[in-house]
Amino acid sequence: MLGSLILVWTCIFFVCLLIRIQGPRNFPPGPPPLPLFGNLLHVNMANPLKDFERFAERYGKIFSLYTGSRPVVFLNSFEVIKEALFTKAQDFSGRPQDFMINHLSENKGIVLADYGPRWKDHRRFALMTLRNFGLGKKSMEERILEEISHLVADLDKNAGGTVNPQNMFHNVASNVISLVLYGSRFDYNDKFLQQYIRLITEISKIFNGPWNMIYDTLPLLRILPLPFKTAFDHAKKLKNMNLSLINEHKSTRVPGEPRDFIDCYLDELDKRKNDGSFSEEQLIMYILDLHFAGTDTTSNTLLTAFLYLMTHPEIQAKCQTEIDEVLEGKDHASYEDRHNMPYTLAVIHEVQRVANTVPLSVFHCTTKDTELMGYNIPKGTVIITNLTSVLKEEGQWKFPHEFNPDNFLNEHGQFEKPEAFIPFSTGPRVCLGEGLARMELFLIMVTLLRRFQFVWPDDAGEPDYTPVYGVTLTPKPYRMHIRRRETVKQ
């Protein structure tokens, strides 16, 4: 038995020596890949961002790595990403179809769907539905403000003390997207909401760890009962939870009178009975896509915002002065007020820049043989846009390596957004929920800063700004001390 095992491993060893991964002609340079493993052993799986930065310095703004035998091209700098996703958008708007995340979603939904007529149809429908979100009798803004009122009530109860904001912001962001999708909110202690968030959070942890990279790099291991199997079990539970919500809507809806996104989709489904592109299976993944994208990114951006506002009290105070002046005599903020708050708007954008919430964006794929910056990129090549390289790029920002709202203010103190501000990516596959996220961030931050002062606790030690790496970056857990602002009528 032992002799047989030694013989098998010896054969495998010599086969590996004979295998050579040959890149396409005139392909972007990169570290030499190893047989079977590709460049898996060349990066720190816990956080590869520093490795990517090192490779860019050595090989240039475009470099290549391999996941197993599959080539992946990394794009670094605003110039390169703009050329690919905007100028040559048709060539670079595909999605890879054989990663763990694709298998979890069964290649359905909107975010990960491959580029083509079906995706364009669903994208058009989603944009139209969100744009016309006067669903029922409430506008999007009113729904967000309604949810903020519950957050304010919770913070009022804790005024004078400290809170852990991790779950708090996650619950708020989850409820806002729930209002869009389901037409209703959940109590923060609701079992359905807590289970939904827990399942998404645990799936995210698996994506953020080494098992996701191992799954993508070594396909032969996918049949083994390894920890990534948990992600598939959780995804199945989430799909069943969404199916129950859809069935509930089907039993209570009035066709032609939509209350929310699900109703709108079911109305569209009625119109397209002979069109296979719209289906309940697509709707289930649609909901998961929008819920995950609308919760994780917004909550992590808010966590970053209040971390920096607490540790930069002079910036917090300057925002509050501007907010007080603009909102004097008003019951609540309106999204239109942003035009009169250049400094606060600059702070919100600077928070998004330093938060760098989705550092590698969503992976792209070439739809045909193409060329970029003198390199040949074959059809089907995975493309990763390193947004970190843009949001901290020398020459694009006045202060690329520090938290400074002046990055978004001109010499006259007016708000000015540099072209390199692309936290939502760019091109045809720019984040679907960008408009909703911008409205949420503005209304939540302005409302909270108007009513409360947020202070770094005396016993909390020195703040650590180093984020925890993952599909999304999140600040390390922290606490915040809350005080009511006496200048504001409560």
80 located within any domain: yes
Q: Round the CA-based radius of gyration of the chain to a whole number and report it.
A: 24
Give the confidence band of 459 by pLDDT, cuts at 50, 70, 90.
very high
CATH of residue 382: 1.10.630.10
Give the confidence band of 10 by pLDDT, cuts at 50, 70, 90.
very low
Q: What is the pLDDT of residues 299-328, one digit of tens each?
A: 999 999 999 999 999 999 999 999 999 999
- Res 345 pLDDT > 80: yes
Q: Can you read off the two tokens belonging to residue 33? A: 């890949």
CB neighbourhood size of 150 (10 A): 15
The total domain count for the chain is 1
pLDDT at residue number 4 = 42
Q: What is the pLDDT of residues 50-59, one digit of tens each?
A: 999 999 999 9
Cα–Cα dist 199/42, whole Å = 31
Residue, of 258 and 213, whose pLDDT is higher: 258
Q: What is the pLDDT of residues 80-135, one digit of tens each?
A: 999 999 999 999 999 988 788 888 888 788 888 888 888 888 889 888 887 776 54
113 located within any domain: yes
Give the confidence band of 276 by pLDDT, cuts at 50, 70, 90.
confident
- φ and ψ of 66, to 5 deg: -125, 130
| Domain range for 386 | 2-484
Give the confidence band of 23 by pLDDT, cuts at 50, 70, 90.
low
pLDDT at residue number 22 = 62
Give the confidence band of 27 by pLDDT, cuts at 50, 70, 90.
very high
441 located within any domain: yes
Using alpha carbons only, what angle is made at residue 25 by residues 23 and 29, rounded to the nearest 5 degrees? 60
Cα–Cα dist 123/306, whole Å = 33
Give the confidence band of 374 by pLDDT, cuts at 50, 70, 90.
very high
- Res 5 pLDDT > 50: no
How much is the average pLDDT of 344-350?
A: 98
154 located within any domain: yes
489 located within any domain: no
Q: What is the pLDDT of residues 212-232, one digit of tens each?
A: 778 888 888 888 888 889 999
- Res 384 pLDDT > 50: yes
Distance (Å) of CA 208 to CA 202, 214, 423, 435, 474: 10, 12, 19, 26, 11
490 located within any domain: no
DSSP conformational letter for 83: I
- Res 260 pLDDT > 90: no
How much is the average pLDDT of 291-298?
A: 87
Residue recorded with tokens 């760890």? 209
Give the confidence band of 408 by pLDDT, cuts at 50, 70, 90.
very high
Give the confidence band of 441 by pLDDT, cuts at 50, 70, 90.
very high
Residue recorded with tokens 């603009």? 326
Q: Model-level pTM?
A: 0.90
pLDDT at residue number 107 = 77
How much is the average pLDDT of 61-72?
A: 92
Give the confidence band of 202 by pLDDT, cuts at 50, 70, 90.
confident
How much is the average pLDDT of 142-150?
A: 92
pLDDT at residue number 289 = 87
- With beta carbons less than 8 A apart as the criterion, state whether 277 and 185 touch: no
DSSP conformational letter for 338: G
Q: In sequence order, what are the residues at sequence separation of 6 or more whose Cβ sits closer than 8 angstroms to the Cβ of residue 328?
A: none
320 located within any domain: yes
